[in-house]
Chain A
C-alpha cells in the first residue's frame, strides 16, 4: 500500500477511485442520508393521503407504490448503508488498523449502491410505475408487476451483493487487522456487534438473492416455484423470504446496540456494565433470529405445534435483549451523567426501543397476532424498533463522532432541538398507530373508515413534524463540516476507545504504526 501523505486525486475522481475507509465511510453516510430523505418524502406522501378519510391526492395504486418503495428504500438504501458507513469509519479506528483489509473491494461495495438506487428510483418512470405489492415482494401479486418488477429484483441482487462484499470485508478486517494486544474480548462493543451482524448478512443475503432469482425465473423462464397454477406454492416464498427477513431486522438493530453501548458509558462516565454478557447476548440474538421466521406468518396455515414453537422461540429473544437493556440501565446507574445530544438520542433509543420490543412480544403471541396481523399495530411496532431504534442511534452515532470526523464541535443547541422535535414528532406519528391497529385498521390501505380519522390526523401531523425536523440534522452536519469550535482529540471526557487517541479531524491515514493495546 502506498503511504503518501494525503495524496489522492482531487475532485470527483477522489470519490470514485477512493480506497480509503474514511472516504468510503463518508460516501456511505451521504448516500444513506439522500436515500433517507427520498424514502421519507414517500412516507410523507402516505401520511398526506391518510390525513383524512376518502381519496384526496392519489390513486390506490400510487399509494401502494409509495408504501412499497418507502419500505424497500428505507431498509436497503437508508438504514443498512448508514450502518456500513459507520463500520467503515469506525471499525479500523476502533481496532487500531490502518484501513479496511480489502480496500478495493470496499470501493466496489459502495459504488454498487448508486446503481441499485437508480434502478429503484427510475422505476417511477417506467410503464406501470414501480412495484406496489409491498416491500416483502409476496407472490402472486408481485408476479403481476410490469418491468419495474424486474428492476426491483435486480436492485435487490445488487444491494445484496454490496452487503455481502461489505460483510466479508468487515469480518476479514476484524479477524486479521486488530492492533497488537486487541484481543477479541477487548474489542469495543460496536466492533463486536458489527462482527456478528456481518456473519448474519453472509448467512441470509444469499437466501434473499435466491428467492428473488426464483421469482425472476417464474416471471420469465417458465419455472413454477411460487406459481400455483404450475404446482408451486406462494406460501413457500413467505417461508424463504422471512428466513432472510427476520435476521434482516436484527441486522438493522445489532450495530445500533453497538453504537449505544459506546455512547452510554461515555456520557455516564462509567465502563459499560456487563461487557461479556453484552457480547454473548448479541450472539444469542443473532442465532435465535435464524429460527423464528414463521412468526411473521402465523395466519398462512400451520399446525398448532409449529405455531407454539415459533411463539416460544420468539419470546426467548426477549431474554438476551432484556440483558442488554438492563446493562445499559446499570451503566447509567449512579453514573456522572451529562446529556449532550448523542446521549439524549441514546436514552431516547433505550426507552422507545424497549417499548417497541414489548409490542414485539405482544405480536409474538399467536392468538393476539391472528387479530393484529397486517394491522397498524404491526406498523407501529416496527417503526418503534426501526425509527426510534435504528434511526435514533444513527443520529446518536453521527453526533457522537462528528467532532472526530470533522474536527469541529456540532451546534449543541440545534442538536438538542433536533432530538426533542424528533422525539415529539416520532411519538405523535407512531403512538396513535397502536390504537388504530387495536381498533382494526389494516395496513397498506389508502382510505379508511371514519372511526379512524382522529388518530390518523394526529399521526399525519406528527409525521410532518418529524419529517421537517430532519432538515435540522442536515443543517447541523453541514455547519459542523464548515466550521465550529475546534473539537480536540478527545471532545468527550468519558470516551476511552482508540479513535479518541488520533487527532481531530482524523487524518487521512491513521494507525500506520499499530497502537499497542495494554
Chain B
C-alpha cells in the first residue's frame, strides 16, 4: 500500500475515533442516569436528621411539645423563576408562632397562560441552619403541581418548628421558587 493511501486509511480511522468519542460524551448522559437510578452515586447518609436526605420520611411527628416561652416569626417568600410565567404568592406575609406548634398556611398560584403546565416548587430557608428545625408535615413542594389553562389553586403547607430551635433564632424566612417542569427533560 502506498504511503498516501495508507495515510488516508489511517486519517479515516482516527477521524472515526473522534466521532465515536463525541458520541460517547452524549452517551455518558443515559449512563449517568442509569448509575443514579441504580443508586451507585447515592451517598450513604448516616445523619437521620438531615432534612435534605428525604423530606417526606424525616418528619418527626412525635415531638409536638409546644414551647410557649418564646415566639418565632416565620416569613413566607414566594418567587416564580424567570422562565416561569405563573403568579405565585403567599396568602400571609408572615405568622408568629410558638416552636412546636403545628401551623397551616396557604399559598396561591395562578397559571395565566392558555396552556396546561407543570411546576415544581423548591424551598430554601434563611438562616440556612433553621432548615434542620423546620419540619414539614404536608407541603405542595413534595409533588409536582399541574395547572390547566388559567387555573388557580390554594396550596397548603403544614409545618412545625421544633422546640430545640436555637434560642438566638427569632425569625425564619421560608422561600419557595417555582420552576417549570418540561414534559421532556434531559434526564
A binds B: yes
B25:A211 contact, CB within 8 angstroms:
yes
Are A102 and B7 touching (Cβ within 8 A)? yes
Q: Are B7 and A303 in contact (CB under 8 A)?
A: no
Is residue A386 within 8 Å, beta carbon to beta carbon, of the partner chain?
no
User: In whole Å, how far is B3's beta carbon from the nearest beta carbon of chain A?
Assistant: 6
What are the interface flags for B36-66 relative to A under an 8 Å C-beta threshold, 1 for contact and 0 otherwise? 1000111110000000000000000000000
Query: Which listed residue, A101, A229, A230, A243, touches B28 by the CB 8 Å rule?
Result: A243
Report chain A residues within 8 Å CB of B179: 229-230
B28 contacts A239, CB within 8 Å? yes
- C-alpha gap A222/B182 in the complex (Å): 10
Is B128 positioned at the interface, with any CB of A under 8 Å from its CB? Answer: no
Known: A209-B22, A224-B185. Is A171-B44 also a contact (CB below 8 A)?
no
Contact with A along B155-187 (1 / 0, CB 8 A): 000000000000000000000000111100111
Interface of B (DSSP majority class): helix
Contact with B along A210-237 (1 / 0, CB 8 A): 1100100000001111000111110010
* A315 interface contact, C-beta 8 A: no
- Bound: A109/B43 CA distance, A: 44
Q: Is the CB of A207 within 8 A of B43?
A: no
A74 CB, min distance to chain B CBs, angstroms: 24
Given contacts A172-B10, A172-B11, A230-B185, contact A203 B21 (CB under 8 A): yes
For the complex, what is the distance from the CA of A43 to the CA of B84, rounded to whole Å? 41
For the complex formed, measure the closest distance between the CB of A204 and the CB atoms of chain B, giving whole angstroms.
7
Instruction: Tell me if A450 is interfacial: C-beta within 8 Å of chain B.
Output: no
The verdict on A351 contacting chain B, using a C-beta distance below 8 Å, is no
Interface status of A335 (Cβ within 8 A of chain B): no
Q: Which residues of A contact B11 (CB under 8 A)?
A: 102, 168, 172
Residues from 289 to 319 in A contacting B, C-beta threshold 8 Å? 301-304, 306
Residue in A203, A223, A230, A302 whose beta carbon sits within 8 Å of that of B41 in the complex: A302
Give the bracket for the number of chain B residues in contact with chain A: 20 to 34
CB-CB under 8 A from A203, the residues of chain B are 17, 21
In the complex, A208 Cα to B21 Cα: how many Å?
10
Residues on B with beta carbons closer than 8 Å to the beta carbon of A211: 25
Identify A229's interface contact among B21, B22, B36, B180, CB under 8 A: B180
Contacts of A176 in B (CB 8 A): 3, 6-7, 10
Q: Contact flags (1/0) for B1-39 with A, using CB distance below 8 Å?
A: 001001100110011011101101110110010001000
**What chain B residues lie within 8 Å of A304 (beta carbons)?**
44
The answer to whether A232 and B18 have CB atoms under 8 Å apart is no
A434 CA / B97 CA spacing, docked (Å): 50
Q: Is A175 in contact with chain B by the CB < 8 A criterion? A: yes
Q: Which of B40, B41, B43 has the most CB of A within 10 A?
A: B41
Cβ of A204: which chain B residues have Cβ within 8 Å of it?
21
Taking CB atoms, residues of chain B closer than 8 Å to A465 are none
A209 and B14 within 8 A (CB): no
**B40 & A202 in contact (Cβ 8 Å cutoff):** no
> Which residue of B7, B25, B181, B185 is within 8 Å of A240 (Cβ)?
B25
Please determine whether A231 and B185 come into contact, CB atoms closer than 8 angstroms: yes
Bound-state Cα–Cα, A231 to B183, Å: 10
Would B43 and A202 count as touching, CB distance under 8 A? no
Given known A202-B14, A202-B18, contact A223–B28 (CB-CB < 8 A): no
CB distance from A329 to the nearest CB of B (A): 36
B108 CB-CB contact with A under 8 Å: no
CA distance A303 to B46 in the complex (A): 12
Which B residues lie within 8 Å of A177 (CB)? 3
| Binary A-proximity of B75-94 (CB < 8 A = 1, otherwise 0) | 00000010100000000000
The 0/1 profile, CB within 8 Å of A marked 1, for residues 128-148 of chain B is: 000000000000000000000
Inside 8 A of A214's CB, which chain B residues have their CB? 25-26
B180: which A residues are within 8 A, CB to CB? 229-230
A306: B residues at CB distance < 8 A:
40-41
Q: Are A301 and B3 in contact (CB under 8 A)?
A: no
Of the candidates A102, A172, A232, the one whose C-beta lies within 8 Å of that of B185 is A232
From A172, A222, A225, A233, B14 is in contact (CB under 8 Å) with A172
Which residues of chain A come closer than 8 Å to B187, judged between CB atoms? 224-225, 231-233, 236
Which chain B residue lies CB-closest to A225? B186
Give min CB distance, B132 to chain A, whole Å: 18
Q: How far is the CA of A240 from the CA of B122 in the complex (A)?
A: 26
Measured between alpha carbons, how far is A208 from B22 in the docked complex, in Å? Answer: 8
The CA of A207 and the CA of B29, in the complex, are separated in Å by 12
B42 CB, min distance to chain A CBs, angstroms: 6
When the two chains form the complex, which single residue of B3, B24, B32, B44 contacts A207, counting CB atoms closer than 8 Å?
A: B24
Asked if residues B18 and A206 are in contact (CB atoms below 8 Å), the reply is yes
Q: How far is the CA of A222 from the CA of B183 in the complex (A)?
A: 12
Closest to B42 in A: A303
How far in angstroms is the closest Cβ of chain B from A118?
24
With A239-B28, A303-B41, A303-B44 already in contact, the answer to whether A224 and B182 are too (CB < 8 A) is: yes
A31 to chain B, nearest CB (A): 23
Contacts of A46 in B (CB 8 A): none
Q: Are A101 and B7 in contact (CB under 8 A)?
A: yes
CB distance from B4 to the nearest CB of A (A): 9
Closest Cβ of chain B: how far from A447's Cβ, in Å? 23
Decide if B32 touches A239 in the complex (CB within 8 Å): yes
A214, B36: Cα distance in complex, Å = 19
Query: How many angstroms from the CA of A167 to the CA of B122 in the assembled complex?
Result: 46
- Which of A171, A206, A231 is in CB contact (< 8 Å) with B22? A206
Give 18 CB contacts A-B under 8 Å.
A101-B3, A168-B14, A168-B15, A168-B18, A172-B7, A172-B14, A207-B21, A214-B25, A230-B181, A230-B186, A231-B185, A231-B186, A232-B186, A239-B28, A243-B28, A301-B41, A303-B41, A303-B43
Chain A residues in the interface with B (C-beta under 8 A): 101-102, 164, 167-168, 171-172, 175-177, 202-211, 214, 222-225, 229-233, 236, 239-240, 243, 301-304, 306
**Residues of B in contact with A (beta carbons under 8 Å apart):** 3, 6-7, 10-11, 14-15, 17-19, 21-22, 24-26, 28-29, 32, 36, 40-44, 81, 83, 122, 179-182, 185-187
Q: Enumerate the 9 nearest inter-chain pairs by beta-carbon distance, A residue then B residue, closest first.
A: A210-B25, A231-B185, A229-B179, A206-B21, A206-B22, A207-B25, A301-B43, A224-B186, A168-B14
Question: Contacts A205-B18, A231-B185 given; 16 further ones with Cβ under 8 A?
Answer: A101-B3, A168-B15, A171-B10, A175-B10, A176-B6, A205-B21, A209-B22, A225-B186, A229-B83, A230-B179, A231-B182, A232-B185, A233-B32, A236-B187, A301-B43, A302-B43
